[in-house]
Amino acid sequence: QVQLVESGGGLVQAGGSLRLSCAASGRTFGTYVMGWFRQAPGKEREFVAAINRSGYTTYYADSVKGRFTISRDNAKNMVYLQMNSLKYEDTAVYYCAGSSIGTVQKTSTSYAYWGQGTQVTVSS
């Protein structure tokens, strides 16, 4: 089991950058595929990015490709989401999630472990 705590959200102007962090507890962090999801008001939770156990394979939603970068540091039990060129439509609560399924997953139901979320607000 792994517990996840996100940080780094906030208010930023369009075109700006933010770096989200997710701290994981437990000794088996390196065995989890990690993902970032987001949920805007009135919308369903959507996939943003995911990274495999080693960190060498990443996947992104088309809406963030080229602007966001997911990374992980297994030695520190951390996963990050670097967000550049932020747009108003990136405004949402961002969630860190962990999956024990071996391959990278893009569906929220594949992730058993979730953080509490961190708010990202982009002003236009």
87 has a pLDDT exceeding 90: yes
64 has a pLDDT exceeding 90: yes
Top-confidence residue, 105 or 116: 116
Determine the average pLDDT of the residues in 72-76: 96
Per-residue pLDDT tens over the stretch 25-35 = 987 899 999 99
Indicate if the alpha-carbon torsion angle 85, 30, 44, 9 is positive or negative.
negative
1 has a pLDDT exceeding 90: no
How much is the pLDDT for 102?
A: 82
Determine the average pLDDT of the residues in 51-73: 97
How much is the pLDDT for 103?
A: 87
Indicate if the alpha-carbon torsion angle 69, 96, 11, 44 is positive or negative.
positive
SS3 68: strand
Determine the average pLDDT of the residues in 3-24: 97
Instruction: Match 């992980």 to its residue by tokens.
Output: 72
What is the rounded CA–CA span in Å between residue 59 and residue 44? 20
